[in-house]
Amino acid sequence: MKHGKYELGRTLGEGNFGKVKFARRVDNGEAFAVKILDRKRILDLKIDEQIKREIATLKLLKHPNVVRLVEVSASKTRIYMVLEYVNGGELFDKIATKGALSEQVGRKLFQQLIDAISYCHDRGVYHRDLKPENVLIDANGKIKISDFGLSALSQHLGNDGLLHTTCGSPNYIAPEVIANRGYDGALSDIWSCGVILYIILIGELPFDDRNLAVLYQKIIKGDTQIPKCLSQGAQNMLRRILDPNPRSRINVSQIKEDVWFKQDYTPTVPYDDDSYPDDESLSLKVEADEHRSIPTQINAFELIGMSSCLDLSGFFEKEDVSERKIRFTSNYSPKTLFEKIDEIITEMGFQVQSGNRKLQIMRQTRVFTTSRSPCSVSVAAEVFELSKSLYVVELRKAYGDSTLYRKASSRCNDFEF
């Protein structure tokens, strides 16, 4: 299949609003990733402003450690975003496969992450959803920050100079964002970078709990242990970043002056403007309903809720490149479904906890851990009612080994529900 000067190939990932496909430019064979978005779905869910904001943000960013937006075009039914193709996968999968990285390797990745975030902040861009899944790594070990869909720009600041939209991923969200009294976008991004550094060096999350309320309490208190096996410099860096008080938390400038950070540090130089396409090639024309009121910002948790309940087209599809969520339909009642899943999963050696129309599926493994402290692979199973005789089963991987998750979800999906 062709789109303009690009030949589209295999699907790299699928989401609630479209697909990402591998593509090659016809004239020179250069590889790209093309994000294909369904315009009707975007308009129906009233998130066209979010898409426009992501495109506008990527237009501002011309840095080697940020995924490059090459071109944007649109038809009556679809929006095409041509992006730089990063062939090394997610940082999440790298750590899930290899475990904690050495300080030398981890520091190199962290230096690139800080360079990229510093560049973004200097241009008034706050990512707000930094996590290992949104940090890609190419074949040469260079990181690329992706997914600016929840980012904020300087014009989104309130009269108090702070951001006020609660968004982000629970394990990586800063305590001041949870407090919901306004927050500094730069400092909240730094907190998320600290969580990522902790995972890189230690192999597990600094703040984690199956109960969201308990998790948030731990984050607000900064309740985590920094292993003594790390160098004193690494311990100090983590302690200063994971400071629950944003006023005393280390900022980007202070990080760059830190002795541990500066070891073998070569700052990344941003691209010249001449190496990027002009603004006209990055224009987007979306014909929104003139009579429809479109919000300028959207709460991430509301977005997750909407996509889970309203996006019926994805029920028979794996929804992202890491296959962390699958859905399928059934005519059985929730009680019967949970009993069947419990039976299948228990036979595979997993532990199952139930409650409130959900199951938590766990198994001990060495993923995201040091040799001293194994942790759990965790998969949540939930049932949504579409009608009195039709239900949707959703399996979501919270964290852990992708191979075990796929094995468990495949067994459930293949069972004759």
Q: Which of 129, 208, 243, 311 is catalytic?
A: 129
- Of the candidates 223, 269, 249, which has an alpha carbon nearest to the alpha carbon of residue 115? 269
Q: Are 67 and 112 in contact (CB under 8 A)?
A: no
Tokens of residue 260, six digits = 């541990």
Concatenating the DSSP letter of every residue in 285-309 gives: -----TTS---S---HHHHHHHHHH
129 an active-site residue?
A: yes
C-alpha to C-alpha distance for 296 and 285, rounded to whole angstroms: 17
What pairs with residue 376 in β-bridges?
A: 364
Q: Among residues 80, 85, 140, 141, which one has the least CA distance to residue 110?
A: 141
First-to-final CA distance of the chain:
35
Cα dist from 299 to 160, 183, 220, 318, 352, whole Å: 20, 15, 20, 24, 31
Q: Name the residue among 24, 84, 28, 81 with its Cα closest to residue 55.
A: 81
* Phi, psi (deg, nearest 5) at residue 350: -90, 160
* Nearest-angstrom CA–CA distance, 284 and 11: 23
Asked if 12 contacts 20 with a C-beta cutoff of 8 angstroms, the reply is: yes
| 35 known member of a binding site | yes
Burial label for 6, CB within 10 Å (0-12, 13-18, 19+), is buried
Task: For 148-295, list the strands marked E by DSSP.
Answer: 152-153
Assess contact for 141 and 128: CB atoms under 8 A: no
State the catalytic residues. Answer: 129
* Binding site as annotated, residues: 35
